[in-house]
Amino acid sequence: MSVLTSTTGVTSILKTFSGEERHRAKTVAANKVRFSTPKEKGLAESVRVAVEEGNFYLVKEFTFFLWEAELDDDEVVLILKDAKRIVHNLTLDFVNVVEALLSLNWKTRTPEIIEAYTEFWIDIMVAHNRYLPIGVSKLINHWIPGDLDASDWVNGCPLECTRCQLKPTHDVLNRILTAVPMAFDVVMDVISTKFPYFKKPAHVTAGYLFNVLWLIEYKPIFEELILQLVLQKLLVLDVNAPRDQIDVETDDADDKLEADRMFQIDDVSGDNLINAGQTVKHPVGQTLDICLLMLYKFIDSKCRINQNSSDQHRWTANRLFKMLLYIFDEVLLPSHNTHHVQFVLFHVTSIRSAYSEAFLNLLWKKAQNPNVAAIIRHAAVGYMASFLARGKFLPLSTVVFYLKQFSKWIHTYIDESDENNQTCSLKANLVFYSVCQAVFYLIAFRATDLTASSKDVDLVLPWTDTPSGFDTKHKSNLLFLQSLQLSRIAMCQLNPLRYCLAPVATAFAGVTRTYQLAYCHTVLERNARRKLATVYGHDKSMPEETAETFFPFDPYLLKISKKYIEANYVVYQSNDTEDYVHSSAEDRLSRKRRDSEMVEEDEFIILDKRQKYLEISKSQDFDKQY
């Protein structure tokens, strides 16, 4: 203390309080905090004052208290019990305090708090259904994993502790859906709104999908709408994870993995290297991979039928398939250039032959219907061709049946076009060219199966005698291909080979030449010359190109979910009758990177997509080939 202050009696500003004075000052400050009044009055008293006196000040204070205070378990229980007791007074005038009550941290607390919250939640929704959107939204928010919670979710499956925390939210929702039927539409709207953005981390979207599929388990009435929503959301992921980007990142990852192994001296982290290559590196592709894995598991659990399956299980399986078929027709078929989502249908149809027959029947009816838009019919034919080529579970008789149906339709179309003097126009004859390409594609792709091993013996024509030892099955296969009149299809005035994908046309020409079914190389040469660009000064004019075609069941690139597909998937195997396919034209278009084995073997299809204007136009290439 300074001399001046000691003589004048003025207290120094540096003077310290004693312990007793400091405690008294803290008490005074604490008593001035606004939370003291609402905490003392309580929720019931605050609502009573608002209802009887029209004074909402205490309610507002209590609302701030709920949002900002850190409540212990006893306080939460007391507040929830008070709220349940006055639930009928909590009209829309008290929407803010009700929202604060519904936002309480309850999921990780004691069973007593969970039970108290559940009872209040149900009572408030039943008494005042106008709170349903708020309450359901608060509940479903718990289904969305945090961005940093990846360790709690492994390939879309939660750890046991996480599952236990989620169960109360499903129990509450189950009870309210039973008590308030009108909550159905609200729940669907909220689920759709809350679906994570496609760029969210994989565990966030997969975790949300886990909870959405969980909902179907106890409320099957949601099944159709939920599955349709899920496939729509997965389509968004699919179009944002293009095949070429997934392929590039997969190759880069494989190269890095190989380099790591090459320079690894001590094998101390081999497991880490294996785990690193388990999924694709593309972030959206990784999300799609995990989500499709979950969907395949869900379909398996519902549609797998064995001898011990009950009639109810069989009925459920058939019902689910019909839903998926309807969703495919409404959502997937009109979607352009998807890559992996359509394999949901590939997987479910592999389970039972009746499913694959129904799928093909739907597509063929769609393709033949003149009242359906041409682009949809075109897509339906593409699905049929790819499905018939790739489905290992399909008997050869099914492929033969649809080849007959295709050729019959084509010949009828040619007859009508000859009568009407129809011109060779891609736009006017899109469906015709699609069906022709389907025939060419199937014969080129399944040539080994369709011709069996008849190439090992002399070719037998219908008018010749059968040599001794010749397998009549082989002969019947060739007779079947001859009955398709492939030469008439390829040589007709509509010139389908002109608008066919170049690798398909070339492969088809090789197969038909080998088995003397048709001679297409002259048509290919003429078409190649027509496709040459015309240059006017600095302007280049391209002729009408091929129909934009994609084969939906091209090689599957996602790594985790691939195990559900590869067992039933036919990988293209080139045979020695198609050596010309791998000609100098292909060599000029050799890729800068290494493809996966599956893609590499599917070369004659994949190349055309990566290089749209395939350079088969130079006649010297054909001279070398033929």
- In sequence order, which residues have a C-beta less than 8 Å from that of residue 292 and are 6 or more positions away? 234, 340, 341, 343, 344, 558, 561
What's the confidence (pLDDT) of residue 573?
A: 77
Nearest alpha-carbon partner for 43 in 6, 97, 91? 97
**Position 461 confidence tier, pLDDT thresholds 50, 70, 90:** very low
pLDDT higher than 50, residue 601: no
Q: Which residues of 5-33 are buried (b: 16+ CB within 10 A; e: fewer)?
A: eeeeeeeeeeeeeeeeeeeeeeeeeeeee
For residue 78, what are its two tokens? 């007391």
In this structure, which amino acid lies at residue 335?
S
Say how far apart CA 335 and CA 328 lie, in whole Å.
Answer: 10
Say how far apart CA 343 and CA 372 lie, in whole Å.
Answer: 24
For residue 241, what are its two tokens? 């994870």
What backbone phi and psi angles, to 5 degrees, belong to 263?
Answer: -100, 10
Q: What angle do CA 231, 233, 238 make, to 5 degrees?
A: 85
> pLDDT by residue (tens digit) across 517-571?
888 888 888 888 876 654 555 555 455 566 677 789 999 999 999 999 999 999 9
CA distances (Å), origin 326, targets 320, 321, 373: 10, 9, 18
What's the burial of 615, exposed, middle or buried (CB within 10 Å: 0-12/13-18/19+)? middle
Under 8 Å between Cβ of 388 and 394: yes
What's the burial of 310, exposed, middle or buried (CB within 10 Å: 0-12/13-18/19+)? exposed
SS (H, E, C) 233-289: HHHHHHHCCCHHHHHHHHHHHHHHHHHHHHCCCCCCCHHHHHHHCCCCCCHHHHHHH
pLDDT higher than 90, residue 423: no
Say how far apart CA 434 and CA 376 lie, in whole Å.
Answer: 11
Q: What angle do CA 123, 126, 130 make, to 5 degrees?
A: 115
* 91 beta partners: none
Say how far apart CA 540 and CA 533 lie, in whole Å.
Answer: 6
**Position 8 confidence tier, pLDDT thresholds 50, 70, 90:** very low
What percent of the chain has pLDDT above 90?
A: 52
- In sequence order, which residues have a C-beta less than 8 Å from that of residue 483 and are 6 or more positions away? none
- In sequence order, which residues have a C-beta less than 8 Å from that of residue 265 and are 6 or more positions away? none
pLDDT higher than 90, residue 73: no
- In sequence order, which residues have a C-beta less than 8 Å from that of residue 34 and are 6 or more positions away? 61, 64, 65
User: Taking residues 368-388, what's their average pLDDT?
Assistant: 96
For residue 613, what are its two tokens? 């204007």
Say how far apart CA 258 and CA 254 lie, in whole Å.
Answer: 6
Under 8 Å between Cβ of 570 and 392: yes
What's the confidence (pLDDT) of residue 276?
A: 39
> pLDDT by residue (tens digit) across 295-321?
999 999 999 888 787 888 899 999 999
| 622 against 44, higher pLDDT | 44
- In sequence order, which residues have a C-beta less than 8 Å from that of residue 269 and are 6 or more positions away? none
Give 183-187 contacts, CB < 8 A, sequence gap 24+. 183/125, 183/129, 183/132, 183/136, 184/221, 184/222, 186/132, 186/133, 186/136, 187/136, 187/140, 187/215, 187/222
What's the confidence (pLDDT) of residue 367?
A: 96
Least confident of 10-24, 241-255, 271-285, 399-413: 10-24
Say how far apart CA 474 and CA 477 lie, in whole Å.
Answer: 5
| Mean of the per-residue pLDDT values of the chain | 79
DSSP secondary structure string, 101-155?
HHTS--TTS-HHHHHHHHHHHHHHHHH-GGGHHHHHHHHHGGGS--TT-GGGEET
Q: What angle do CA 175, 178, 183 make, to 5 degrees?
A: 95
What's the confidence (pLDDT) of residue 9?
A: 44
Residue with tokens 């994993």: 145
User: Taking residues 586-594, what's their average pLDDT?
Assistant: 35
> pLDDT by residue (tens digit) across 438-453?
999 999 999 988 887 4
